[in-house]
Chains A and B, each alone.
Chain A
Amino acid sequence: MDAESRFVSVNPFACELTGYHADELIGKRMDILLSVASRIYFQTHIYPLVTLYNSANELYVTIQTRQRVPIPVLLNAAAHTHEGQLLIYFTFIPVHQRRLYEKEILAAKKAAEDALLRNDELLKLQQRLEQHQAEQDRQLSQLQQRNNELEQFSKIITHDLQEPLRKINVFAGLLDNEQPDALTSMGNTALTGIGKASSRLRTLIGDLQLYFTLTSQQAEIESIDLQPVIEDISQEYESMGVHFDLKPLPTVVGNREGLTSLFRHLVDNAVKFRQVGDTPAMVRVSGTVVGHNSFRTTPDKYNYVDYARITVSDNGIGFDNQQRDEVFRILKKLHPRTPGMGLGLAVSKKIVELHNGQISAESAVGKGTKITVLLPIA
């Protein structure tokens, strides 16, 4: 055969076995004599092997006669250069009987291997199960402990912190109602300061409460077309001179209120951290469906399923990309002078995690930020 796998010469035995005349085969590609499966095997393994290694030995393939009768053969191949032309010599012998024996041996081997593999897997599973049970019990106790703390914390926030705040407001109100000249100008400035600070404190408490109660809500899950959700949000911001580039978005499964709040936070961030100057704020939202491992924390566990991947990117001020994980931490503010409490991305992350999704950020200072969200699809 030549380098293109075309027959150059065929011996009489091969002709007799396959039912072809030699001149019918010469110039044809090797494939004509192979079963379909053996063609794949030839192209993916034997051909590379002979080309790289110049020989291939004891390979089992099935050849096909003119009448399409399959004949199992053992194939050897060797490549030599003859008068400047690469020639590959293929020799084969039919192995009907041997193949039958082999099949039986293989079947027995396969059965034994399957049993072993199953046994092995069962043992591993059992081991893992025991580990998991111990691990789970530990985690459960920790979770209970944390849950108790959170409940207490929530109570502190809603009542114990609100109450003094309310009182500060009442007393500040009393002062405010005094005669205009009752306070010195310093006193008046201090009063305004108290008003601002307590109003910030009220927002902070409200946000914290929202953040910590996100988990406990029994959320209603439904199929949600994200397109109108994002369109509604973008309309609110378009009036503020923000430009939007919205691409078609996939339908996801989740809680409508939660996801609306998620994308409002993301768009709000994009707008909040816009560039100062002439560059108009531009927010791009696009989505696609990608395969992703559904195991998020267990190492070496894989189950690839489809997720909707939504990206929200902006041309804003951006941040140092090394802080891409920290931006999701609660009360983490990278830009101290911008409005807000540093809860937006923490809340976003929490909503995404509650949906068994994933969220990540990528950013470059002066260029903008891209938030990528993976959410389960219908």
Chain B
Amino acid sequence: MLTTPLSATSQSVVDRYNVTITGQGTQPMLFAHGFGCDQSMWRFVAPAFEASYQVICFDYIGHGRTSMDAYNRERYASLHGYAQDVLDICHALDLHDVILVGHSVSGMIGALAAINEPDRFSRLVMVSPSPRYMNDEGYHGGFEREDIEELLDTMDGNFFGWATSTAPAIMANSERPELGNELGLTFCHTDLEVALQFAKVVFYGDNRKDLPKLQTPSLIIQTLEDIIAPVEVGDYMANHTPNSTLHVIDATGHCPHMSAPNETIQSIEQYLRQLN
């Protein structure tokens, strides 16, 4: 937990990225959400680390409850802009020895941040990452350009869908009472303009050349069946990233931290134990 009050600049960064800090440990564990959702997607995994770590979650600009005022089209025309978000948070909170956990594209965003400031990060955990989503000569990413164009179309057609998913959550779920208490929270809210630009940067992007530059020890969590980051992509990541460990977990889909939180938690815990 933070014991000293934050400076004005730090507070502005905390507000800008809707940073939430929990946990009893001292070593920071920073959770970065992927494309299409917000920090709420970590709710099944992050609490498991609160006993031993300082658990920090945040939303990228235009996601969750962040204000759009800080959105800058030039900055976010590149994944480096998002990596700068991660670094800005680390600077503002004066985080060191950080374990960065990133889902989906935040795996690569985390890698870029760690390449830029290697001294700040001790471990990188990438959940279902991919360095390139489109197929290329001798490389299977899973998608063709037309697929991505159709995705942008689908998102455009879902303007109301993306916008209305901010509606207050009114839930009557006896199995998960903890969800019911969060009336007024937004779920997977993404501003459409932000989501469209993010999708273009993510899905048209190519970060394969960055993998060999990553020196921070990393864990790649791969599921058995993932159309967005297929098993071949996990292998490619592991083969091209120095100091990386590939862990294929017994789960399917692109969101193991939601569909198989226990397996995901175990995988991360086991990895952190091994290295310590």
Which residues of A pack against B, CB within 8 Å? 3-5, 29, 31, 35-41, 43-45, 47-49, 51-54, 56-62, 81, 99, 102-103, 106, 110, 288-293, 300-304, 362
Tell me which residues across on chain A come within 8 A of B154, comparing CB atoms: 37-38, 41, 60-62
Tell me which residues across on chain B come within 8 A of A49, comparing CB atoms: 37, 165, 187-188
Contact of B40 among A47, A52, A59, A290 (CB under 8 A): A52
Tell me which residues across on chain B come within 8 A of A35, comparing CB atoms: 150
| Pair A51/B258 contact, Cβ less than 8 Å | yes
The verdict on B21 contacting chain A, using a C-beta distance below 8 Å, is: no
Q: Given A48-B255, A290-B116, A291-B112: A40 and B228 within 8 A (CB)?
A: yes
The verdict on B97 contacting chain A, using a C-beta distance below 8 Å, is: no
Q: Given A29-B252, A290-B116, A291-B112: A52 and B157 within 8 A (CB)?
A: no
| Pair B158/A59 contact, Cβ less than 8 Å | yes
16 pairs, A vs B, C-beta closer than 8 Å: A29-B252, A31-B227, A39-B228, A44-B254, A47-B255, A48-B188, A52-B40, A53-B188, A60-B161, A62-B154, A106-B159, A288-B115, A292-B80, A292-B116, A301-B74, A362-B119
| Pair A304/B253 contact, Cβ less than 8 Å | no
| Pair B228/A304 contact, Cβ less than 8 Å | no
| Distance of A330 Cα from B154 Cα, bound (Å) | 58
Tell me which residues across on chain B come within 8 A of A110, comparing CB atoms: 156
Tell me which residues across on chain A come within 8 A of B161, comparing CB atoms: 56-60
For chain B residues 75-100, which have a beta carbon within 8 Å of chain A? 75, 77-78, 80-81, 83-84
Q: Given A44-B37, A44-B254: A36 and B143 within 8 A (CB)?
A: yes
| Pair A37/B148 contact, Cβ less than 8 Å | yes
| Pair A43/B158 contact, Cβ less than 8 Å | no
The verdict on B43 contacting chain A, using a C-beta distance below 8 Å, is: yes
Which interface class (under 10, 10 to 19, 20 to 34, 35 or more) fits B?
35 or more
Beta-carbon nearest neighbor of A370 in chain B: B119
| Pair B37/A48 contact, Cβ less than 8 Å | yes
| Pair B104/A36 contact, Cβ less than 8 Å | no
Report, nearest first, the 6 A-B pairs whose CB atoms are least far apart: A44-B36, A37-B150, A37-B151, A43-B254, A302-B74, A304-B80
B130 to chain A minimum Cβ distance, whole angstroms, is 11
A183 to chain B minimum Cβ distance, whole angstroms, is 58
Tell me which residues across on chain A come within 8 A of B143, comparing CB atoms: 36, 40
Having A44-B35, A48-B255, A54-B173, one finds 7 other A-B pairs with CB under 8 Å, namely A44-B104, A45-B165, A48-B188, A51-B255, A53-B165, A62-B150, A300-B72
B94 to chain A minimum Cβ distance, whole angstroms, is 12
Q: Given A43-B227, A43-B228: A291 and B253 within 8 A (CB)?
A: no
Tell me which residues across on chain B come within 8 A of A40, comparing CB atoms: 143, 147, 151, 203, 227-228
| Distance of A52 Cα from B33 Cα, bound (Å) | 14
Which residues of B pack against A, CB within 8 Å? 34-37, 40-41, 43, 72, 74-75, 77-78, 80-81, 83-84, 104, 112, 115-116, 119, 143-144, 147-151, 153-162, 164-165, 169, 171, 173-175, 179, 187-188, 190, 203, 213, 225-228, 252-255, 258-259
Beta-carbon nearest neighbor of B203 in chain A: A40
| Pair A304/B150 contact, Cβ less than 8 Å | no
Contact of B158 among A54, A60, A290 (CB under 8 A): A60
| Pair B150/A36 contact, Cβ less than 8 Å | yes
Number of A-B pairs, beta carbon distance below 8 Å: 147
B143 to chain A minimum Cβ distance, whole angstroms, is 6
Tell me which residues across on chain A come within 8 A of B147, comparing CB atoms: 36-37, 40
Q: Given A54-B173, A62-B150, A304-B78: A43 and B213 within 8 A (CB)?
A: no
Interface residue SS majority, chain A:
mixed
| Pair B165/A44 contact, Cβ less than 8 Å | no
Contact of A290 among B115, B171, B187, B228 (CB under 8 A): B115
Q: Given A4-B253, A49-B187, A52-B188: A41 and B155 within 8 A (CB)?
A: yes
Beta-carbon nearest neighbor of B228 in chain A: A43
| Pair B253/A43 contact, Cβ less than 8 Å | yes
| Distance of A38 Cα from B169 Cα, bound (Å) | 24
Tell me which residues across on chain A come within 8 A of B78, comparing CB atoms: 291, 302, 304
B61 to chain A minimum Cβ distance, whole angstroms, is 13
| Pair B254/A106 contact, Cβ less than 8 Å | no
Beta-carbon nearest neighbor of B83 in chain A: A291
B50 to chain A minimum Cβ distance, whole angstroms, is 19
Beta-carbon nearest neighbor of A35 in chain B: B150
Contact of A29 among B104, B225, B258 (CB under 8 A): B225
| Pair B213/A288 contact, Cβ less than 8 Å | yes
| Distance of A62 Cα from B254 Cα, bound (Å) | 19
| Distance of A60 Cα from B159 Cα, bound (Å) | 9
| Distance of A4 Cα from B252 Cα, bound (Å) | 7
Beta-carbon nearest neighbor of A59 in chain B: B161
Q: Given A45-B37, A291-B80, A291-B112: A56 and B165 within 8 A (CB)?
A: yes
| Distance of A51 Cα from B43 Cα, bound (Å) | 11
Q: Given A39-B227, A53-B187, A56-B165: A3 and B259 within 8 A (CB)?
A: yes
Q: Given A49-B188, A51-B259, A81-B175: A302 and B72 within 8 A (CB)?
A: yes
| Distance of A102 Cα from B154 Cα, bound (Å) | 12
B104 to chain A minimum Cβ distance, whole angstroms, is 7
Q: Given A40-B151, A43-B253, A302-B81: A106 and B165 within 8 A (CB)?
A: no
B194 to chain A minimum Cβ distance, whole angstroms, is 13
Tell me which residues across on chain B come within 8 A of A106, comparing CB atoms: 156-157, 159
| Pair A304/B81 contact, Cβ less than 8 Å | yes
Residue picked from B75, B77, B144, B157, most chain A C-beta under 10 Å = B157
Tell me which residues across on chain B come within 8 A of A61, comparing CB atoms: 154
Tell me which residues across on chain A come within 8 A of B173, comparing CB atoms: 54, 81
Tell me which residues across on chain B come within 8 A of A56, comparing CB atoms: 161, 165
A338 to chain B minimum Cβ distance, whole angstroms, is 26
| Distance of A35 Cα from B147 Cα, bound (Å) | 8
